[in-house]
Structure 1
């Protein structure tokens, strides 16, 4: 059977015009291409190819004033309004660290960059977009009405690549890693778990034991972890809102983790979506993608770090929620809410 020839850039632009109301990600999925390929097809038509180097992008973003930072996975979208400031570069990991925008960046996944500048039916859209080698979105920086639009042209000119191709070659998408558990090493896991002094030591520890995060949770047992009913996140967010308990909400992909620190207030269920719709922070979670939820306890120098963590059916982490200790230590209130969540039924605990 003859293979269907790949879509040309002109074909992709025609599809975009025909289905102008669809989000780029949804249209790309319909066309069988990556979102980065969709962007590339519009080079010269409101899109400019740019560097994806985070050192240069973060410096450029700082010039744009207040913008919207967006990081997403297939199951969750995390949006923060603020300014890019206090950037720290690193070969393997970088960060933006301020009260509004808090990012952990893994530069090797920042592969393709674009600047979007298009007039739409809803108004002017301007954004800096970053994609990984497979063409999946890593991080997006959207300008708002209050952003410094006068700086935009200079920012794009500084970031633009010499080659402005309208086609893009992507690599195969990495398959999610399923849970890796070693029940025969449960004793070693618990012994090492007790010795943790920082949550950042956890992944190194479980990797050394030939496990990953989810696999270790399935093995550890009480008092280290507790399986929580998968559909309990709505109750968690509702209770956090009612008591105005500040939390840290982590959502990330391979290239970027984005963090909200503070209360969550306006909680709305819309179909399968669990939404936080607050000034300065929006989160959109596909509640029907949640397959496992765990209440996790990790010792640190400052005391026990308690989190609620959700995973999808393929073992990908969807989000993590921690209590906060600064400026006021209200972690105990978060722990009480987490401990009251209903436990998962035996059939809901995968092994």
Structure 2
């Protein structure tokens, strides 16, 4: 049978009959379509409105909604942070920023393609959101209204940016930015290591890796001798978060996908397990990590003008970075000693091997 929005919607309804609590992302996987395609089957109803692809303009107005919940995820980690979208910087054609105390985002517009306003019913109550998708139909970012949001402003925004096309068909296109890993012998390892040792800002590391045509995990394998990159057991993630919670050490939690990085800065408190998920469940910050999918975890140290900056970087089986932890810090301020102590303690307990060049 040819796949059409009509029969796709019917298949989704059948699936919901057998799995009523299935989330749309998982339903899309089951039906072998993208989330955007599945969501679009509800366009033209009161539930879903396709919006103009005026992403920067829409984001510029989100501050008027008041306190909302920002959600960014990848396949294995979900990052939810409540707050106000403040201090927008959206003039750059490629990269946008929100640098508020609560909502802290790095936005990569190259992959962005579509936007929708969505009204779901959750436990008998309407739940309103703005949802943004990549060219391949995968969700990039979602903004949910809270009890403290301005619903009138939301409805005015949806009316203002309503697309004239409210059809139930959503076109998607393959989008793959996977970097091919070159053999180690083709890499100028000495030059790469020298560049790492001479770093003055952590943000320059991405450019260094790209310059030498490395994948991220390959770069960590080829780190300079010493403790620049130490591979640890995946349990290190849980141990670091647990110690940070116990010792009230504020941390930074980065989660990203092809179009967004979302950051939480502050303490973490309430930790819970649910099936395969390890969770932080604080009032304004929730994190959900599918722990079995943490395959490669590294302690990574980079020199800067402010001293060494230490991260815990976590990757899936395909080498995609899925979550990254730092101690709370700002430019010009040295890294927290309490964070360095946590990392050193967990590293000693969970180290698997040092850099191949150590």
TM-score range (shorter-chain normalised) is over 0.9
User: Any stretches of 5+ residues in structure 2 without a counterpart?
Assistant: none
**What is aligned with 1:211?**
214
Contact 1:309 1:319 in 2 (8 A): yes
**What is aligned with 2:69?**
68
Structure 1 distance, partners of 2:27, 2:40, is 14
Structure 2 distance, partners of 1:41, 1:318, is 30
Contact 2:193 2:222 in 1 (8 A): no
**What is aligned with 1:43?**
43
Q: Give the superposition deviation at 1:64.
A: 1.1
TM-score (norm 1): 0.92
Which of 6, 12, 25 is the aligned partner of 1:9?
6
Contact 1:248 1:262 in 2 (8 A): yes
Q: Give the superposition deviation at 1:329.
A: 6.0
Q: Give the superposition deviation at 1:105.
A: 0.3
**What is aligned with 1:113?**
115
Structure 2 distance, partners of 1:300, 1:212, is 22
**What is aligned with 2:28?**
28
**What is aligned with 2:254?**
250
CA RMSD of aligned residues (A): 2.2
Work out whether 1:259 is the aligned partner of 2:263: yes
Q: Give the superposition deviation at 1:346.
A: 5.1
**What is aligned with 1:165?**
167
Q: Give the superposition deviation at 1:82.
A: 0.5
**What is aligned with 1:317?**
321
Work out whether 1:345 is the aligned partner of 2:349: no
**What is aligned with 1:86?**
87
Q: Give the superposition deviation at 1:343.
A: 3.6
Q: Indicate the larger mover: 22-31 or 239-248.
A: 22-31
User: Any stretches of 5+ residues in structure 1 without a counterpart?
Assistant: none
5 Å matches for 1:95-244?
95-174=97-176, 176-177=178-179, 182=184, 185-220=188-223, 221-244=225-248
SS of 2:281's equivalent?
A: strand
Structure 2 distance, partners of 1:153, 1:15, is 27
**What is aligned with 2:276?**
272
Contact 1:226 1:343 in 2 (8 A): no
Contact 1:180 1:215 in 2 (8 A): no
Summarize the Cα distance change of 1:11–1:213 in structure 2 as closer, same or farther, 3 Å threshold: closer
Q: Give the superposition deviation at 1:215.
A: 0.9
Contact 2:230 2:353 in 1 (8 A): no
Contact 2:140 2:257 in 1 (8 A): yes
Summarize the Cα distance change of 1:58–1:158 in structure 2 as closer, same or farther, 3 Å threshold: same
Structure 1 distance, partners of 2:350, 2:116, is 45
Contact 1:306 1:322 in 2 (8 A): yes
